[in-house]
Structure 1
Amino acid sequence: MKKIITKSICGLMVLSTFISCGNNNSSSSEPSSSEEIEVSETWELVEIPGYTLGNEDTSTLEVVPTTTVRFHFNRADEQYTPWSIWGWDNSNSSGGAAYQFTHYDEYGVWGDVNLVDVAPEGKTCTELGFLIAIDPGGSWQAKDFGSDRFVTISPTSPGGIQHVYLLSGVEKQYPNKDATRKHSISSALITETTKLKIYFGLVKSKDFNFDAKNFTIEQDGKVLTNYAAEEYNSKSKNVVLNFDKELDLTKQIKVSYKFEKNHTDVAIPNYVVLFNSDAFAEKYTYTGDDLGVTFDKKLNPTATTFKVWAPTSSKMVLNIYDNGDPEKQANPTNSYEMTLGDKGVWAHTVTQNLHGKYYTYTVTNPEGTNEVVDPYAKSAGINGIRGMVVDFNKVNSEIQGWDQDVRPDFGTNGTDASIYEIHVRDMTIDPDSGVTKEKRGTFAGLAEKGTTYTNDDNVTVSTGLDHLKELGITHVQILPFYDYNSVDETKVSTDMSMEVEGSNYNWGYDPLNYNVLEGSYSTNPYDGINRIKEFKEMVMAMHSYGINIIMDVVYNHTAKTNDSNFQLLVPDYYHRRYSTGELYNGSGCGNEMASDRSMVNKFIVDSAKFWVDEYHMGGYRFDLMGLVDNKTMIDVYKGCSELYSKVMIYGEPWTGGTSKLKVAHDPANIKNQQTVQASLGQSYFADAGVYVGAFNDIIRNGIRGDNSPGVGWVYGQSSSYGGIYSGMKGLFAETNTAAKNVEPQQVLNYVSCHDNYTLYDQLESKASASRDFNRVYKQAETMVFTAQGVPFMQEGEDFMRTKVNMRGTTGKYDHNSYNSCDLTNHMDWSLKAENVEMFEYFKSLIAFRKATPELTISTRDEIDAVVTEKGDSKTIALEFDCSTKGGNSIYVVHASQDATHELGGSYEILFSNTNREVGSIVTSLDLLPNESIVLKKVA
C-alpha cells in the first residue's frame, strides 16, 4: 500500500518489505491506564535554547473569532528540539502539515497552527487533528502519545488564540498550565453492562485519598446512585463501580470526581472492553443478509426496506433525497423514524420502489446526533456524501450483454495466472492513448477497444485495453476503485495534470464507501447509476478479451476516523483501540479496522461477496493484510470461493505499524492473529484448502535489491540467492515445516508494484557500465516468470516505465507517487513505441510461460517430487523433471556473472533473454552476465 491523504499522518516510510503511509519505526505500546504525572512544583522561567521567549498573557486581549490554536508542550526531560506538531483540518478531512514549536515560556515550548492555513480553500476548520512527533510527514521517528488527538475549535477566543496545554506522554488536553498540576480521571471504561472502571491520573499519589462519595455518575443528565464501589486499587490507581442493573448503552454516561473543593474532573467512558467481550458479541451479532437496502420482490418491486446495525443508538431516522448533491438539495424529501429490532438492527420499510433515490441515516447515540452514509450503500452521489438506492435487477437489464457475462477460464488455479497491476486513470489519461477525450481516465475509457498510438518513426502500438489483450496477461489487478476520500469528484478532468499542486490525483488507499464505485472514474460522478453501468461495460470488455479482474481492497483502515460513518454509527466499535480508547495505528494512517470483532468481520465478508457476485470480480488483493485477522481472511476465501471456485485472494503480508493483532500461529486463536506469510502454510489455511496468498518480498528483494533502493542478485549481490531459490520453487522460505507447506498458488513472485520504484527506476539508479542494462532488466522479469507460483508485474513494466519526480524534492524518480500528477503516473504510450522490442520480449515471456506447464505446477507435492537445484550462488539453476508425469524435464538457468554450466545431458534451448538460437541442442552453457535460458531435456 501507499497512500494517501487522510486526516491523520500519512507520511512516507521505506522498509525492506514495503512502503506504507505513516510511521512504523516508533512502536506505540499499550498506554498505562494509571498515570503518575510528572510536573514541576513551581513555574520557573528558564531559557530553552533554540526558541524565542514568548510569555505574553493573551487572556486580556479582545475576544474575536478564533484563527489560531497555540499548543503548549511540557517535557520533564526538557528535550524539545526534535519535536514538532502535525496538524490537519479534521472537520474537512484535509491533508496534514508540520508546524514548529517556536517560542518558550515558564511552562515549556509553544507553537501555533493557523486555522486558515490548515483548512482547504473556502472551508472553515471546526475540529483540528494533531500529533506531537519527531519529523512528522517525513520519517516519523517517534510520537509523543501515539494516537490522533482532536481540538474542538471555539468560535471565539481572546486575541483569536485558543490555547491547548499538553504534558509529554499524557493524552489529556488542558485549558491552562495550572490544570496540568491537578489530579484527573485518566480514563473510564464500561467493562460490562453493569461495571464501570475508572483510572486516575495523579500528580502525587500520596496526596490522594479516594472516597466513592466524590463520584457523580450521570446518564443523559440523570444522576445514578444504584452502584457500589469496590476497594480502591492504589497500585494501578483504579476503582470498579458495580451497578445493580444494566447501564443503557444508548445514552451518554458521564463520570465526575471531585478531587478538591474547586476541582472536579469529568470523563466520558468508552465501550472498548465491553465491545471485545463474548457477551456483547453473543447479544448483538446479526447474521442476516439484508443489511442496507432490499426490495420486496425482484421484478417491479413495490416496497423498499432499509436496515442498519447500531445497537448503541437511541434513535435512527431514514432520510430520502431526490438528488445526491447537497448543493442542489439541502433537505430530505422525506424522513422516517426507524424501529429498533433484534441484535441492534434498526429497520424501516417504505411502501414504494425507491430505486434511484438517495438516502442517509440520522443517528443519535452517545457521540451525539449525526447524518451518515449507510456502510452497506451500493452506490452514491457526488463525493459519496449520500448513499443511493439501487435495484440491480433493473440496472442489469439495461446493460446489453451483462446477463451473458462470464469470467474467462485461465487454467487450473492461480499458478496459471499472470497478473498485471493497473490504475484506472493511468491507463487512458494520456492523449496518446487514442481513447475518446471524454472517456480518458475512466472506466469507459478502459472499455474502449481498438485504440493505438503511432510515433514520428511510424511505429504503431496498441494502447489501453488493447495493450492488455496484446500482452497476453490473464488478470488485471486494479488499484482501488471503490469510493475513496482523497479526490474531489466535482473537479475531475479528462486532461492530464502536469503538476503535483492541484493535481486531484490519488491511488485511492483511503476508503470512504466500500461498496460504492469511485465517482471520479465515471463520466458523470453526480449520477450513481452511471458509474455502475460504465464499470460493468468495462468488465464485459475485459472478459471478452480473456482478462479477469482482481480488485485492490483496503479493509484494514478507513480514510476518516472520528467522523467516519462507522464511528458515528457505533462509536468505538469498528476501529481497534487500546482499552483506554487510544486508537491502534497498525496502518500508519491513523486507525485500523477491528476485523476480529464479529460485525466488522461480517461487513468485510459481506462486502467481498457482494463484489464477486454483483460485479463478477475474479479476486482480491488485500492491502496490509497483516491487519486482517486469520479468521476473517478464511471467511472471505470460503464465502467468495462458493460464488466463484477459482477466486484469487492474496495480499500484503505485513502491517504499517504496531497492531493489536499478534504474529502467532495458534489454531485456537485465529481471530487474534495477523495474516502474514508464515500463516499461510498453517493447518487452518493451506491444509484446509484455504489458499489465501501473499506477495513474496523475499524473492523481490533478492532479485533487484531492497526498496532503498538496494542492489540485488542481478547486479552481483550473491548473498541473496537462498531466498531466490525458495521463490523459484514457489515458496516464501524453507525455514520450517509450515513454510514448506505453502501451496504455489499462494506465492506471488514479483520485482515491482505500485509501491516504491518502478523496476526501471530501481535498476537504472544502480546501473553499472560493466553490465548490459537491457539484459539485466529482462533477467529480473524472466526470473519471476520462470518461477513456480504466481507471476505479477505492474503497469508499464513491460516497456520500462519510469516515474519522474515532479515534487521538487531530492531524487530523480518518484518512489511514492500516490498523490503526484498524471505526468508522473500516466502510461506513456510513446515510451512503449520507443521500447517496443522490450514489450515484445515481455509478450513472448508471458506466452512461453503459458505454453510450458512445467513452470505452472499447481501443487506443492508435485513440485517437491520433480524439482532439483542444480546451481550455486552465482548461477541459479533448477530442473523440473516432469517426464514421468507425461511432461518434459525443464531446466531453468539464470547467471549473474560469466560462468560455464554443465547440464549433465543433452538439452534443447526453448527460451533465452539473449540471441541464443531456439531449438539448438547443448550439453553445457557458457553463460554471459545476466543471461537467462530455459531448456528441455532431449537425451
Structure 2
Amino acid sequence: MKVDHISISAYLDDFSMITIVVNKPFPIIPSLSLVDDKKVLQPLTIDKQEYYDDLVIYKCRSRIPIDLKNRYWVTFNESRIPLMIGSIVRTAKFDSLYYDDTSLGAIYTPERTTFKVWSPVAFAMKVKYKPRQSDTFLEQKMSRTENGVWQVTLEGDHHLTEYLFVVNVNHEWVETTDPYAKSVTANGIHSVVIHLPETDPEGWNRSEKKINLRSKTDSIIYELHVRDLTIHSDSGVVNKGKYLGLTERGTKTSNGFHTGLDYLKRLGITHVQLLPVADFGSVDETTPDSAYNWGYDPVQFFSPEGSYSTDPYDPICRIKELKTLIHTLQQNGLSVILDVVYNHVYKREESPFEKLVPGYYFRFDEGGKPVNGTGVGNDTASERKMMRKFILDALTYWMSEYKVDGFRFDLMGIHDVETMNLAAEKLKSLNPGVFLLGEGWDLNTNLEPENKATLSSAKKLPSYSFFNDAFRDHVKGSIFPDGQSGFINGNQDARIKSHMKQVMRGYAGQHDTFLKAEQSINYSECHDNHTLFDLLSIRHPFEDEFTRRKRQQLALAFTLFAQGVPFIHAGQECFRTKNGAENSYNLPDSINAFDWKRCESFYKEVDYFKQLIRIRKTQPLFHESSTVLSEWKVPEGGLGFELNLPTTDIKEDASFWTNALLLFNQTTKQIFIPIEEKRWTIAIEGEKVCHRALNEEQYRLKPLSFSLLYSV
C-alpha cells in the first residue's frame, strides 16, 4: 500500500511483534497504532530499525498480545494498513498453541459428512459444496475450535459431493481445495467427498493387513514410470500409458515377445517402484497425451493422478484403477513401492498450504524469502508439527487404503530426522516389513545439518535405506559426463580401487556410512540423469557399441552382487537409451517410452539379467548379513572378492554355496588369475550361465567381463 509516496506493509511476526516494511525511511517517525475490528486502539512502540536489500524494516511492539481470531490494521497519519500474517506462524509458540492431532478433511458417513480444515490465522471460513445431483454450489459457514480447526457437518449422504473451502485470510477471501482431499475432479479443480469402499476393485479385501516378511537384502527393486512401460506402439497393451495398462495379462509385441505385466513377473524382481502417482500439476488430465511429466510436481497429496486413469472426470475411477494396478502386481508376486514427494509443492502461492496458513508449511530465510534447497522454488518444513502430521497422515493413508508395501522419499535430505523416524515407527506398526528408502542428498535448506535426513545421518535412521551415490560414482563414475570416470570406464586410479571393497560391502560398518548393508541402495542408473548406455556413449565416443555394452554389464554385476539392495532402472537390462537426453522429466514419449522392440532385440541380455537375479535370490551368501567378504589378489586392471558363508543348520544343503568368487576385468585385455584348481565351479562366464568345473591353475578372465565361481 502507498501512503504519501511511501510503499508500506505490515506483518505480524510474533504475538506482540509487528514488522513495518517501507521502501524508504520515514522522514519523521510517525505515531503508530494497532486497531482491530472493534476499533480498539493500541499504541505501537518502535524497538529498532533495520535494513534488508532496498527496504527499511521497523520492528514494533504491542503492549497487549494479539489474538489471531481478530483482524487488525496498523494506523499512521490517518491511514490504515492491513496487518498481514508474517513469521508468527513459524514460531515455537504458534506450533505449540495450535497443534491439533484430530482427523482432518471430509469425514464421510452415509448419514452425514463433517468437513475439517486447519487454519488458525483465518478470520472466517465457509465450505462451498455441490451435491452429486445438483448443478448449483451452496455455502455453509464453519466454526472455529481453539486449535484453529474449522469444521461443519452437513447432514445426508454426500458421496461424490464436490467442495472447496472459502477462507478469509490476510483481509481477503480466497478459495482452495482441501489438502486432505481423497479425490478431485479433473485437474484438481474441486475436492470430492468419497465413500472409499465404492472405490475397491474386484478381489480387494479392505480388512486385509499387509505384512511383508521379505528382508531388504532379499529384495530387488525395479523402478518404472506408469506411462513409459506401456505407451510404446508395439507394447501390445490396450490401455497404453494407464494404470490399467500394467494390469493386462498376455501382452506381447507383434513378434510374440512378452511385455508389460508378463515381462515384469518373468524378470525375477521382487519390488516395483512407481514414479509418483499422487496428483501432480504439469499434465492436463483432460488431454493427457498433450504433455509428459515424471510427476515430481505434487498438488493433491492424497489423490491419485488422473492422467493415468481411463476417465479423469470420474473421481472414483482414478482410485479404483490405481488400486487395481497395486492389487494386480501383488497378486503376481511383486511388492509395490510408491515414490512420494513431500519436500515441495508444484506452485507454493497456489497451494492449499499457503492459502490456508500463509508461510507456515514452508521454510523461509531471515529476510522472509522462501528457501530453495529443492531447486524448484520452495522447501516444505517437515519439522513443524502440522506439516509433520500431514506427512504422517498421508503415508498412513496410502498404506492402509491402497495397501502398498513401501515408500521412496524424493529429496529426503530436505526432511528432518525426527519426522522420518516417527514416520517409520508409525508405518512399521502397520506393516513391520514396510520398505523405506530415500534420497539422502545434503541440500541447502534452512535446517541444522545434524537434523537433516541425509546420508550423513543414516545411522540415526536405521529403518531407511539410502541411494548410495558413493557406490554409483565408484562403479560408473560421476553422473556428469565431464566428471571423474569409474571402475567400469577403466579408471585404474588407486582411490577408485581402494573404494571397491566398500562398494562390495555396501558401505556398512562401524567406521562407514551405514549400520548395515541393507541401508545401501546399490544402483548405477535411475530415472534421473543420463541412462548408463547414453552416458557411456558420451564418455567413450570412439568405442564401438559392443564394447560399451560390456562396460554396462560390469556395472550390472556390481549392482546385483554387492552387499545391500540392488536397484534397477526399467530398461537398464536392455541398454535403455533416451537419445542422449540428460533430464527427460518433461520430454515426449519418443524419448521416455520403454522401447519394446529394443528390449526384444536384446533378449539374450535380458535372459542373462534374469539368470543373475535367480542366482542372487537362490544363494543366501549374497544377501545374508553373516557373509564374510575378503579381497582376492588379481593382476592390475582386475578386481576379485571372495564371499564365505559359515555353514549353519539352516543352510546345510548341497545346492547352497559356501564360497563364491567374483572377478571383474576393467581392461580390454584378458587377465590370468592364479587360482586353486578342482575347488571351484564356474557359474557365470562371458555373460553366460555355465556350471563347469575349473581344471586349470590359472583362470583366464576375458576382457571387460565378470565371472562368478563357487564352491559348496
* TM norm structure 2: 0.90
- Name the SS of the counterpart of 1:911 in structure 2: strand
What amino acid does structure 1 have at the position aligned with 2:218? D
Q: Distance in 2 between matches of 1:929 and 1:202?
A: 72
Contact 1:199 / 1:239 at 8 angstroms: preserved in 2? yes
| Conserved? CA contact 1:728–1:787, under 8 Å | yes
- Give the partner amino acid of 1:680: A
Q: Deviations over 1:439-467 (max 9, x none)?
A: 21111111111101133xxxx31111111
The code of the aligned residue for 1:215 comes to L
Per the TM alignment, residue 265 of structure 1 is displaced from its structure 2 partner at its CA by 11
Letter in structure 2 aligned against 1:281: D
Quote the Cα distance in structure 2 between the aligned partners of 1:889 and 1:279.
60
Which of 224, 234, 240 aligns to 1:432? It is: 234
Give 1:895's match in structure 2, choosing from 661, 665, 670. Answer: 665
Give the aligned partner of residue 568 of structure 2: 793
Matched, 1:194 2:3: no
Q: Secondary structure at the match of 1:891?
A: strand
Q: Confirm or deny that 1:441 pairs with 2:245.
A: no
Q: Are residues 508 and 790 of structure 1, via their aligned partners in 2, closer, same or farther at CA, if it must alter by over 3 Å?
A: same
Choose from 434, 438, 447 the match for 1:661: 447
Q: Cα offset for 1:408?
A: 8.5
| Match 2:700 to one of 907, 910, 926 | 926
TM-score by length of 1: 0.69
Alignment of 1:177-216 (within 5 A): 189-198=11-20, 211=29, 213-216=30-33
Counterpart contact for 1:454–1:833, Cα < 8 Å? no
For the pair 1:848 / 2:615, whether they are aligned, the reply is yes
Shift in Å, 1:875:
2.5
In 1, the alpha carbon distance for the partners of 2:209 and 2:216 equals 18
Alpha-carbon distance in structure 1 between the residues aligned to 2:703 and 2:226: 38
Could you say if the C-alpha distance between residues 254 and 746 of structure 1 is closer, same or farther in structure 2, counting changes exceeding 3 Å? Answer: farther
Distance 2:154 2:690 in 1: 73
Of 93, 101, 105, the residue aligned with 1:292 is 105
Give 5+ residue unaligned stretches, structure 2: 652-656
The structure 1 residue matched to 2:410, chosen from 620, 623, 642, is: 623
Instruction: Tell me the equivalent position of 1:452.
Output: 252
Instruction: State how many pairs are aligned.
Output: 692
Aligned to 1:489: 285
Three-state SS of the structure 1 residue aligned to 2:550 is helix
Please point out which of 629, 633, 638 is paired with 1:867. 629
In structure 2, the residue matched to 1:155 is: none
Using a 3 Å threshold, how does the CA distance of structure 1 residues 188 and 250 change in structure 2: closer, same or farther?
same
How many angstroms apart in 2 are the aligned matches of 1:568 and 1:304?
23
Letter of the 2:664 counterpart: H
Q: Tell me the alpha carbon deviations over residues 185-205 of structure 1, each in whole angstroms, 9 at most, x when there is no partner.
A: 6x85534312224466657xx
RMSD: 3.0
The corresponding residue for 1:574 is 361
SS of aligned partner of 2:286: helix
Task: Say if 1:364 and 1:881 are closer, same or farther in 2 by CA, change over 3 A.
Answer: same
Q: Match for 1:275: what amino acid? A: V
- Which residue in the other structure is 1:383 paired with? 187
**2:469 is matched with which residue?**
697
1:727 matched to 2:477: no
Cα separation, partners in 2 of 1:367 and 1:649, compared to 1, 3 Å? farther
Question: Partner of 2:459: helix, strand, or coil?
Answer: coil
CA 402–868 in structure 1, closer or farther in 2 if over 3 Å, else same? same
Q: Is the 8 A contact 2:529 2:582 kept in 1?
A: yes
Q: Is the 8 A contact 2:608 2:687 kept in 1?
A: no
Q: Which amino acid aligns with 2:196?
A: F
Structure 2 match to 1:91: none
* SS of aligned partner of 1:424: coil
Structure 2 partner of 1:400: 203
Q: Say which structure, 1 or 2, has more relative contact order (CA 8 Å, 6+ apart).
A: 1
Q: Answer whether contact 1:402 1:536 (CA < 8 A) is retained.
A: no
Relative to structure 1, the CA distance from residue 925 to residue 409 in structure 2 (aligned partners, 3 Å threshold; closer, same or farther) is farther
Tell me the CA shift for residue 617 of structure 1.
0.9
> 1:817 maps to which residue?
584
**CA 1:566 to 1:409, structure 2 compared with 1: closer, same or farther past 3 Å?**
closer
Q: Which structure 2 residues correspond to residues 209-248 of structure 1 after superposition, within 5 A?
A: 211=29, 213-219=30-36, 222=39, 224-230=41-47, 239-248=58-67
Q: Is the 8 A contact 1:384 1:513 kept in 2?
A: yes
Q: Could you tell me whether the CA contact under 8 Å between 1:410 and 1:416 is conserved in 2?
A: no
The within-5 A match list for 1:230-269 is 230=47, 239-251=58-70, 253-255=72-74, 269=84
Percent identical residues: 32
Gaps of 5+ in 1: 1-172, 494-502, 665-672, 805-812
1:420 to 222, 239, 244: 222
Q: Secondary structure at the match of 1:718?
A: coil
**Matched position secondary structure for 1:462:** coil
Structure 1 pair 472–915 and aligned structure 2 pair: CA distance change class (3 A):
closer
Q: Deviations over 1:136-166 (max 9, x none)?
A: xxxxxxxxxxxxxxxxxxxxxxxxxxxxxxx
User: In the alignment, is the contact (CA less than 8 A) between 1:255 and 1:267 conserved in 2?
Assistant: yes
* Alpha-carbon distance in structure 2 between the residues aligned to 1:706 and 1:256: 59
The partner residue of 1:345 within 149, 156, 160 is 149
Do the aligned partners of residues 913 and 248 (structure 1) sit closer, same or farther apart at CA in structure 2, a change above 3 Å counting?
Answer: farther
Taking structure 1 as reference, are residues 596 and 878 closer, same or farther at Cα in structure 2, changes over 3 Å only? same
What is the Cα deviation at residue 870 of structure 1?
A: 2.7
Report the CA distance shift for 1:218/1:560 in structure 2 as closer, same or farther (over 3 A): farther
In 2: Cα distance, 1:383 partner to 1:210 partner: 52
Output the CA distance in 2 between the equivalents of 1:363 and 1:239: 29
- The residue type paired with residue 441 of structure 1 is G
* d(CA) in 2 for partners of 1:774, 1:199: 61
Contact 2:236–2:254 under 8 Å retained in 1: no
Task: Measure how far apart 1:911 and its partner are.
Answer: 2.4
Cα separation, partners in 2 of 1:367 and 1:815, compared to 1, 3 Å? farther
SS of the equivalent of 1:540 reads helix
User: For residues 870 and 561 of structure 1, do their structure 2 counterparts lie closer, same or farther at Cα, with a shift above 3 Å needed?
Assistant: same
For residues 257-656 of structure 1, what are the structure 2 equivalents within 5 Å?
269-272=84-87, 274-288=88-102, 290-296=103-109, 301-322=110-131, 329=135, 331-332=136-137, 334-366=138-170, 368-396=172-200, 399-403=202-206, 411=214, 413-436=215-238, 439-455=239-255, 460-493=256-289, 503-654=290-441
Instruction: Measure how far apart 1:237 and its partner are.
Output: 7.3
Asked if 1:765 is matched to 2:551, the reply is: no
Say which SS state the counterpart of residue 844 (structure 1) adopts.
helix
